[in-house]
Structure formats: structure tokens, C-alpha cells
Amino acid sequence: MSDATLQHRLRALGLQGAAGELDDLIALATKKRWGPTQMLEHVADIEERERSRRGLERRLSRSHLGPFKTIADYDWNWPTKIDRLLIEAAVGLHFFGAARNVVLVAPQGLGKTMIAQNIAHQAIVQGHSVLFTTAAQMLLDLGGQESSRALESRLRHYAKQSLLVVDEVGYLAFDNRNADLLFQVVSRRYERKSLVLTTNLAFKDWPSVFPNATCATALIDRVIHHADVIGIEGRSYRLREAEDAAKKDSPKPKK
């Protein structure tokens, strides 16, 4: 049997890793004079690594996380108020096992989205299903469903993720319909699965996001009941970067 035929058969059996490394596998087995047991153990090792890699790629793709800066790049000295230990515990998923929530409260430009992305990525690496979305995207998706059955299917989609990250709550005001949809998502996850929210508003200001919604108080109650609420204060990173860039680009005074 040719190597090409064997490679094809291995792929047909789902042994993608062994098929991809077939030439190296045969060479290594010949060099080390492996017996059948050693050969099979090595094939098993290859397949475990390959399936772990593919699983990670699938979870990353399905999460819609996208590119992000790692927490190692976070400038802890820039905010005027920040609880580093609590944030590092959140990124380490210390809240996750008890179905607790994390709420990051900060003005624009202080890295709350970046922190949320790092929490999401750590959950993905540890094998959990994760969905990262903005509040606007999620509510546009839910509100666009054309039937009760379709809406129920999408609500289950948001409810079933091991970790749901909803970014930018509070940037837009929601009507009663959208407030009710957000309440349904939160309620379905309440005390079952963890939720990470980022918001630019203190909870006392949330009623301004849901000006006519009767569910606002109940929504806040379910979000914060089992939650680590992490506040960050200071000036915007992006504003600082823009100011630094402007200084670099400004013409130097003539001597």
C-alpha cells in the first residue's frame, strides 16, 4: 500500500493528525524500532494533540471573540482606581465554577472590553463554550427573529453558552421590547451559567437605559445578585494615546 493511499484511509477514519504526520511517524518508528504498542501510543498522542487544537480553533471561531490585546499589555498604573487582584482573579476564572457573574463598570477607554476579552479567551482555552457579543448586536439579533419559534431558538443559543460576554451595556437606550429580551437572556442564565457584562454606567443610572421598562430593577437584581462588580476610574487610554500621537506629529519649534 502506498503512503498516499494509507494517508487517505487514515483521513477517512478521522485520524487527521496521524495522516498529516505520516511520513515523520514512519521515519520515527523505523529509527526507534518501535513495536506495535509504542506505535499505537504515539498515534494516540498525535490524535489527542490534533483534536485539542481543532477544538480550540472551533471554540475561538464560534465565540466571535476576534483579535484582542492580552492582559499582560494592560497598563495597571494608568487608572486612578482599579482592583488588580479582583481583575486577575476574574481572568483566572475564579468566579466561573459557582455560576457567578462579573460586571466591569468604567468610562470609555479604560480597558473594560480588553479585560472581558481576556476572561473569554481563558474560558475558551480551558475548553468552555463562549460567546462574545455587544448588547446592541445581541438585541438586534433577537429582535430580528420573525417568529416565536425562531426567537426561542436564539434565546436558547444565548442561554446555553458556558460563558456569555455582553459588551457595551448602557451605550444605547433600549425600548421595552429590547429591555424584555435582555431580561430574558439574563433570567435564563441566572444561577445556572456565568455572565460577563461591561458597562459605562453605574447601576443607579441603568434606569436611563431602560426609561420605560418595568423589568429594569429585576434585571439589575439578577445581574448583581451573584456577581463581582469591578469599578475602574480614570482618564481614557485612547485619549492619552491620541494626545501622545499628536505631540509626536506636531512640528518641532525652530531654534
CATH code assigned at 169 = 3.40.50.300
pLDDT of residue 240: 61
CA 66, distance to chain mean position in Å, is: 9
pLDDT tier, 254 (very low <50, low <70, confident <90, very high otherwise): low
Is residue 13 located within the same domain as residue 97?
A: no
Is residue 114 located within the same domain as residue 209?
A: yes
pLDDT tens for each residue of 62-86: 999 999 999 999 999 999 999 999 9
Is residue 165 located within the same domain as residue 231?
A: yes
pLDDT tens for each residue of 208-243: 787 766 777 888 899 999 999 999 999 987 666 665
Q: Does residue 246 surpass a pLDDT of 70? A: no
Is residue 30 located within the same domain as residue 98?
A: no
Amino acid at 65: L
pLDDT of residue 69: 95
The answer to whether residue 253 is domain-embedded is no
Return the H-helix or E-strand segment holding 116: helix 112-125
The answer to whether residue 194 is domain-embedded is yes
The answer to whether residue 248 is domain-embedded is no
Is residue 121 located within the same domain as residue 59?
A: no
Q: Does residue 18 surpass a pLDDT of 80? A: no
For the chain, what is the mean pLDDT? 87
The answer to whether residue 155 is domain-embedded is yes
Is residue 117 located within the same domain as residue 230?
A: yes
Residue 71 CB burial class (10 angstroms; 0-12, 13-18, ≥19): buried
Is residue 93 located within the same domain as residue 187?
A: yes
Is residue 178 located within the same domain as residue 123?
A: yes
Residue 24 to residues 7, 10, 43, Cα–Cα distance (Å): 12, 15, 12
Quote the domain boundaries for residue 86: 71-240
